[in-house]
Structure 1
Amino acid sequence: MSILRLKSYLFIVATVLILGQTVSAQASELPDFAQLVEQASPAVVNISTTQKLPDRKVSIRQIPDLEGLPPMLREFFERGLPQQRPPRSGSGQREAQSLGSGFIISSDGYILTNNHVIVDADEILVRLADRSELKAKLVGTDQRSDVALLKIESQNLPVLRLGKSQDLKAGQWVAAIGSPFGFDHTVTQGIVSAIGRSLPNENYVPFIQTDVPINPGNSGGPLFNLAGEVVGINSQIYTRSGGFMGVSFAIPIDVAMDVSNQLKSGGKVSRGWLGVVIQEVNKDLAESFHLDKPVGALVAQIQDDGPAAKGGLQVGDVILSINSQPIIMSADLPHLVGALKAGNKAKLEVIRDGKRQTVALTVGAIPEEGMALDALGNAKLGAERSSNRLGIAVVELTDEQKKSLELKSGVVIKEVQDGPAALIGLQSGDVITHLNSQAINSTREFIDIAKALPKNRSVSMRVLHQGSASFITFKLTE
């Protein structure tokens, strides 16, 4: 063998050894969940519910659409799904079943799960790790956080250790145990993708986002850190296909335990409330409010006689922090306010008229479900005044309109002509209360402010459309 071939051979051998050592080192660094699963599984339970239906139409909740799957694969999944029960003799009723997961938090039988797992249930059954089944009593439920607290009559039950979700960081390993498609104690793993996520219509939960595979039946089950501590309750997934797509969400255990303790002690949950409608601050709004970058929560509407109104908060204020906790996205504010209790003091740092100010107020209690701000009525318009620069004709608000809309000032759009207003979607009947950060008290004032608007710069306008207030931005080129 020539010296050149020998050197090449030795180089290849050395490279293989190095790669082997690297792969071995990487493999040794991967987490091993075996001990965690062995210790935690006995405290993870399967939850099934039944609901009596008045007619013969039976719906099964949380069961995936299996249409289109190959026959063998479809049959495989169907064997693991809860089956419809026949009508009870003489009752003329059928029952719908749902399936989910939960976990034991106290040795005397308190169990946490999701509200949507047990909602509208007439009977709740808990199956323990030893396959025994017990009927559960619903202690309380909270729709806003999707948390429910159950109680079974038993003693000396295995209990999961609870961690602190506030200590989680993106990139950390986590694992889930649950009953996807009815397969008890299935283990899946992944990492924390992000923390403090806000979801539509879920304003009071700063969700933990993970890439842990979650499927129907996992709902209500625990999410663990590597120390074997529960850091969240697996709640929902983001999907366009109906199945897992790599984006799962869990309720932080800190939030869930606060809800659980309140349900256990009083049967309901109290949350802080400011009485404001807020919106996101985008780049154009930031420019119009003289902010260096788009941060904070813009106050678009204030409830009369609410905590914000009594504390001196104003429409157009941009809230930058509450009790020294920064508001980066507008969705951060409901999380932080909701964690406060009625009667707590709150100090808000705001931008008002381009200047930083501090507003101190007392937090109120959030109203019951269904209570909201009054909607915009179709009131009769008064004498017309026009402002051709924006392409709209506006009129004064009548006293009756001001009273019904709970406004002190503003103008109503009578007609939308060709121009900037039409391009940004303004409509007849919309109420304009602020223009370029200035309150509008009359049509004359509106016209004067409109004439003085700057060119090629973002300008803000506060508009009430069908009772909902928001700030919009536009630019004038002429």
Structure 2
Amino acid sequence: MMNFSVRNFLAAAVMAVCLPLVPHTALAAPAASLPDFTDLVDKVGPAVVNIRTTARVSSSTRGLPPGMDDGDMSEFFRRFFGIPMPQSPQSPGSPPRGGGGGSGGGGGSQGQQDAPDSGGDTEQNSGVGSGFILSADGYVMTNAHVIDDADTIYVTLTDKREFKAKLVGVDDRTDVAVVKINAANLPAVTVGDSNKVRVGEWVVAIGSPFGLENTVTAGIVSAKGRDTGDYLPFIQTDVAVNPGNSGGPLINMQGEVIGINSQIYSRTGGFMGISFAIPIDEAMRVADQLKTTGKVTRGRIAVAIGEVTKDVADSLGLPKAQGALVSSVEPGGPAEKAGVQPGDIILKFNGHPVDTATDLPRMVGDTKPGTKATITIWRKGQTRDLPVTIAEMQADKTAKADTKKTPPPKQRATNALGLAVSDIPADQLKALKLRGGVQIDAAEGPAARVGLQKGDIILRVGDTDVTNAKEFEDATSHLDPSKMTALLVRRGDNTQFVPIRPRSAPAQK
């Protein structure tokens, strides 16, 4: 009896321990297998090329690494691509010749020989990068910075054939370049749709990091539309990208090119887990123009813009922080002719929402000059549609204004904003092309905390324009201290809204 009971007890104990394991095992998800990139690499790899460039180097600069000058180190840390590995300025055992000549290159079998000219200059390797074949007739896409300052461009295929390439065109703004080699029946990539890229999907990079050709690295898309201060919204990935990967393709799991590997974020000069690729849709628009005309034509409306912060949106009654805040308008430009003013917020361009300030330059830039478009702006609590004719983008211009010394303070800051202001002389208004406003003579309290300073010009309080000091005092005399107030402020050539919270009561004299 005792033995039976013990056996029953032990059996029950075993069941008690084992039973909970059954549902856990049944619910466990099968282990997901990692993707296999072999077929993808077999498909795309032959269309990826190595690009190296050479430059004519004077004997007087041969103490530096090839192609580098004093300003190149800062560019290296900005781009991290296309910078050559240090090489010997002279091949071992080559005695110097008269006039400072010598065997140039120092790059092994790829080093170039001295030029036959009398100046003693040499052709030396100046950069290394990657690219990919767009079409079977020899068009190749790469980064503009890969071929910067190149006198000769060499393209090497995976079958070791090397071609001297002809430069078709370069667009520095998007960092895209197209070159052409004299060949036919070449393997070409399949161009994908970068608008369909999803965060978290697997992607592959193929290129020549540190000159190591046909190197494959893989990772995932970390983010989309990443604004790095350049013209384009980049695709961010964690794919290992290093110097020499520049200009190579970023490829999705269908074997389609969705971007051009262009930049990395690094504090050391090497890969740190974040890399950026130019979306292929934008790159192809540029490439098509380069192949047709050799240059890229973009539209412009001649405004300087900034982001719309949440505080600015709340203080101006915008439902959400969106759009592009106009900080300055070029005199005589398309925007000024259309009636756009500093302080306007551009919400739409031709009916398309402008979600962030970086959206607007791309929308306008992709519009053919001479096209008539419609800009939807937010001004004083209302939306307005303004017709504008797009102009052609020229070289960047620097706005100038006649600056004069600010007169000494005339009074203490006694209002709820902590500002003392004065009228602006008529000749200064004319020089600044302003219809009104007041200049700050002193800033304290709330005004000082938000960064306002002597010499700034206030054009508007909330939705109320101010043309003189009396209007400013009237506009600020009944402000609600529980709400933010937006001041439209001009400093130098830029105009922006500054959110400020009034203090509860004016300071006493």
Taking structure 1 as the reference length, the TM-score comes to 0.86
d(CA) in 2 for partners of 1:57 and 1:340? 47
Q: In the alignment, which residue of structure 2 is the partner of 1:457?
A: 483
Aligned partners of 2:57 and 2:121 also within 8 Å: no
Whether 1:378 and 2:403 are equivalent positions in the alignment is: yes
Q: In the alignment, which residue of structure 2 is the partner of 1:35?
A: 39
Q: In the alignment, which residue of structure 2 is the partner of 1:280?
A: 307
Matching residue's letter, 1:58: L
Q: In the alignment, which residue of structure 2 is the partner of 1:72?
A: none
Q: In the alignment, which residue of structure 2 is the partner of 1:188?
A: 217
Structural mapping, 1:111-260, within 5 Å: 111-200=140-229, 202=230, 204-260=231-287
Aligned partners of 2:48 and 2:248 also within 8 Å: yes
1:113 CA drift (Å): 0.5
1:96 CA drift (Å): 5.3
| Alpha-carbon displacement from aligned partner over 1:156-192 (angstroms, at most 9, x marks no partner) | 2111111111222222222111111211111112222
Aligned residue among 492, 500, 505 for 1:466: 492
d(CA) in 2 for partners of 1:61 and 1:434? 52
Whether 1:307 and 2:334 are equivalent positions in the alignment is: yes
d(CA) in 1 for partners of 2:16 and 2:86? 62
d(CA) in 2 for partners of 1:82 and 1:109? 31
Does the C-alpha gap of structure 1 residues 399 and 266 become closer, same or farther in structure 2, counting only changes over 3 Å? farther
With 326-335 and 54-63 compared, the bigger mean Cα shift is at: 54-63
Aligned residue among 56, 59, 70 for 2:62: 56
Does the C-alpha gap of structure 1 residues 216 and 16 become closer, same or farther in structure 2, counting only changes over 3 Å? farther
Structural mapping, 1:283-302, within 5 Å: 283-302=310-329
| Alpha-carbon displacement from aligned partner over 1:347-404 (angstroms, at most 9, x marks no partner) | 3333221123323322222222x32322x44214569654532444433333443343
Question: Where in structure 1 are there 5+ consecutive unaligned residues?
Answer: 66-79
Aligned residue among 360, 364, 373 for 1:346: 373
d(CA) in 2 for partners of 1:85 and 1:104? 32
Aligned residue among 417, 421, 424 for 1:397: 424
d(CA) in 2 for partners of 1:16 and 1:129? 51
Q: Name the % identity.
A: 43
Aligned partners of 2:446 and 2:503 also within 8 Å: no
With 218-227 and 421-430 compared, the bigger mean Cα shift is at: 421-430
d(CA) in 1 for partners of 2:448 and 2:123? 54
Indicate the RMSD between aligned Cα atoms, in angstroms: 3.0
Matching residue's letter, 2:459: T
Whether 1:97 and 2:126 are equivalent positions in the alignment is: yes
d(CA) in 2 for partners of 1:477 and 1:392? 11
d(CA) in 2 for partners of 1:149 and 1:334? 23
Question: Where in structure 2 are there 5+ consecutive unaligned residues?
Answer: 1-6, 75-83, 91-101, 105-113, 505-509
Does the C-alpha gap of structure 1 residues 223 and 82 become closer, same or farther in structure 2, counting only changes over 3 Å? farther
Q: In the alignment, which residue of structure 2 is the partner of 1:22?
A: 30
d(CA) in 1 for partners of 2:128 and 2:242? 11
1:44 CA drift (Å): 0.3
Q: In the alignment, which residue of structure 1 is the partner of 2:354?
A: 327
1:9 CA drift (Å): 9.1
1:93 CA drift (Å): 5.6
Q: In the alignment, which residue of structure 1 is the partner of 2:446?
A: 420
d(CA) in 1 for partners of 2:305 and 2:87? 45
Does the C-alpha gap of structure 1 residues 4 and 129 become closer, same or farther in structure 2, counting only changes over 3 Å? farther
Secondary structure, counterpart of 1:330 in structure 2: coil
Aligned residue among 45, 50, 63 for 1:46: 50
Secondary structure, counterpart of 1:262 in structure 2: helix
Matching residue's letter, 2:151: D
Does the C-alpha gap of structure 1 residues 456 and 8 become closer, same or farther in structure 2, counting only changes over 3 Å? closer
Taking structure 2 as the reference length, the TM-score comes to 0.81
d(CA) in 2 for partners of 1:134 and 1:16? 62
1:431 CA drift (Å): 2.3
d(CA) in 2 for partners of 1:435 and 1:293? 20
1:125 CA drift (Å): 1.3
Matching residue's letter, 2:258: V
d(CA) in 1 for partners of 2:323 and 2:192? 30
Q: Please identify the structure whose Cα radius of gyration is greater.
A: 2
With 265-274 and 107-116 compared, the bigger mean Cα shift is at: 265-274
Secondary structure, counterpart of 1:22 in structure 2: coil
d(CA) in 1 for partners of 2:435 and 2:277? 43
Does the C-alpha gap of structure 1 residues 421 and 19 become closer, same or farther in structure 2, counting only changes over 3 Å? closer
1:154 CA drift (Å): 1.4
Aligned partners of 1:432 and 1:464 also within 8 Å: yes
Aligned partners of 1:82 and 1:182 also within 8 Å: no
| Alpha-carbon displacement from aligned partner over 1:309-368 (angstroms, at most 9, x marks no partner) | 222223322222223322222222222222222123333333221123323322222222
d(CA) in 2 for partners of 1:230 and 1:152? 20
Whether 1:409 and 2:403 are equivalent positions in the alignment is: no
**Count of aligned residue pairs for this structure pair:** 455
1:234 CA drift (Å): 0.7
Q: In the alignment, which residue of structure 2 is the partner of 1:447?
A: 473
